Amino acid sequence: MAILELWHIGVPVTELRPGMTYADGMKLWLNNPDETDHKFEYLRFEAGGPFPEEMQFTIHVAYKVTEIDKHVAEADRVVFGPVDGAAPGDRMAFVWKDGVLIEYYQPA
C-alpha cells in the first residue's frame, strides 16, 4: 500500500524570511519547515532555476511517500519530475491532483 505522510506546506514568497538558506543548484531560497509553527516551507525562487513558473507562484502540499511512481501515475498532470531529491536515493515530483499542487517526496 502507498503511504502518505504530511511533510510541509510550500509557500512561495517574494522577500527573504529569517532562517532561509540558499540552494545553489536549485536557485532557490528556503527554510526548514520543522522550524515553523505550521510546517510552512517558504520558497523564494530565482531566475534561471529548474522549476516551472507555476510552481513559483502556487502554494503546494508536500507528502513523504513510499511509492512515488504510483502517486505520479495517479496524478491529473505532472508538473516536474520525478527527479533526484536532496539526498542520494531520494526522489521528488510535483503534480496536480484534484485541483491541488502536490509535492511527493520519497526518501531513500
Band the pLDDT of 43: cuts 50, 70, 90. Answer: very high
Average pLDDT, stretch 30-56?
A: 94
> Which residue type, as a one-letter code, is found at position 29?
W
* Mean pLDDT, all residues of the chain: 93
Residue 72 reports pLDDT greater than 90? yes
Band the pLDDT of 16: cuts 50, 70, 90. Answer: very high
Write the CATH number for 92.
3.10.180.10
**Whole-model pTM?**
0.91
Average pLDDT, stretch 35-60?
A: 94
> How many domains are there within the chain?
1
Which residue range forms the structural domain that includes residue 58?
4-106
